[in-house]
Amino acid sequence: MDLNSFALLIVAGLIGGLCNAVAGGGTFFTFPALLAVGVPPIVANATSAISIWPGHATSLLGYREELARHASRLKSSAPAFVIGAAIGAALLAVTGNGVFRQLIPWLLLVATLLFAIGPNLRSWIYTNRSGTLPKPVIFLIDLVVAIYGGYFGAGLGILLMAVLTLIGLSDVNEANAVKNALATIVSTLAVAVFIASGIIAWGPGAAVLAGAIVGGYLGARFARWINPKILRGIIIAVGLGLTWFYF
């Protein structure tokens, strides 16, 4: 990497880490930056995933009490998320760069729309859900979400919050704790598959990770002074702009 590429990845990681700490959507910055410095699409996606993985894992330290209260939910969901994440990551590993390059704008479009409608989707589900879903249906929904998360990942948090609302977990803090735990399962399995498949660009990934660590720290520290709605608007605009660009 030259100095300009290194600086771009550091900044992308910084912004991505800050966004993830406050409103989510960090992948909209880290993934395109890796593409911009010449990392092949599949490797860029896998490298972006491993660069933001520590943020998911370390967030669990602050949710120990909430996770203890929902241990049964996590145990019942874990098999679907382990299987789904492994399937999604394996699909990415065997997808050709040409095919994945054609999928990029569609994946970005889906992720942007999920990010944009996330809060409204969760409210709508909370208002209109009726009764308890059968366990096979919940397993299937979990599996599909995990496959998506293992394959691409952007917008995974929105999908998880919607699913948790669907099954009746209405408290935002409780749902956020379970969401982070499930996202950690997905990202950990995906990262393991990516490493085993040899599709990680370690140099660029280290640059993004360094920026993401600093950005996550700054985001957590200054979250009270950052308006999440304004930041969400910026992220949605970036997502739409990237979608248009890659189309």
Tens of pLDDT, residue by residue over 185-215, are 998 999 999 999 999 999 999 999 999 888 8
pLDDT over 80 (residue 167): no
For the stretch 145-161, pLDDT in tens is 999 989 988 778 778 87
Q: What was the pLDDT predicted at 181?
A: 86
Classify burial at 118, counting beta carbons within 10 Å of its beta carbon; exposed 0-12, middle 13-18, buried 19 or more.
buried
pTM of the model: 0.81
Q: What was the pLDDT predicted at 36?
A: 94
Q: What is the percent of the chain where pLDDT is above 90?
A: 32
Per the prediction, the chain carries an average pLDDT of 84
Q: What was the pLDDT predicted at 16?
A: 85
- Nearest CA to 49 among 191, 179, 210? 191
The ranges assigned to domains in the chain are 3-246
Q: Which residues make Cβ contacts (< 8 Å) with residue 143, sequence separation at least 6?
A: 80, 81, 83, 84
